[in-house]
Amino acid sequence: MKCEICNVRDAEAVYTEVVDGVAKQIHICKVCALEKGLDFLFSPEKEEGGFVCNVCGLTWEEFEANWRLGCTACYNVFGDKLRRVLESIHKSTRHVGKSPEKDREVFELKKRLEELKRRLSVAVDEERFDRAAKLRDEIRMLEEEIAKRRERRAKNV
């Protein structure tokens, strides 16, 4: 794929530009990235997980606490990692949903869990991260609740 800025060189990275609240993915080459001040796309920290927004200085840890972005550039720094976090949440759903659930209460909880996870990915797609953070917390609580009920039932049987 060619760089969408110069249309000459091959794109080596993707970044997200937010225009009027709409996220647009742009494939970009290294030269154009440097020209646009997007050199963090190629910085080694990106690979190692030391995520810091070089525009507002927000760290991944700070972002992770309440999923609040400091500025629009943050999305480029944290977007990939965020997507990976979401993928892992979705994977855990599939795992949980494998065996048929006999416990009616757990079944209802799981249905709610699926719904919350669906809403979470919608919220992230729409970049409503404060809402996403609340959903993530609800998902965690619900997963704990399901685990507790399972444990209790396992002891009773």
Question: Which residue ranges make up the site for Zn ion (CB under 5 A)?
Answer: 3, 5-6, 9, 29, 32, 53, 55-56, 58, 70-71, 73-74
Measured on CA atoms in the order 5, 75, 94, 47, is the torsion positive or negative? Answer: positive
Which class for 150: exposed (0-12), middle (13-18), buried (19 or more C-beta within 10 A)?
A: middle
CB atoms within 10 A of CB 141: 11
Least distance (Å) between residue 93 CB and Zn ion: 30
Question: Which residue has tokens 């993928």?
Answer: 87
Least distance (Å) between residue 119 CB and Zn ion: 25
The DSSP letter of residue 41 is: G
* Residue nearer to Zn ion on the CB measure, 73 or 124: 73
* Residue nearer to Zn ion on the CB measure, 40 or 110: 40
Least distance (Å) between residue 51 CB and Zn ion: 11
* Residue nearer to Zn ion on the CB measure, 16 or 70: 70
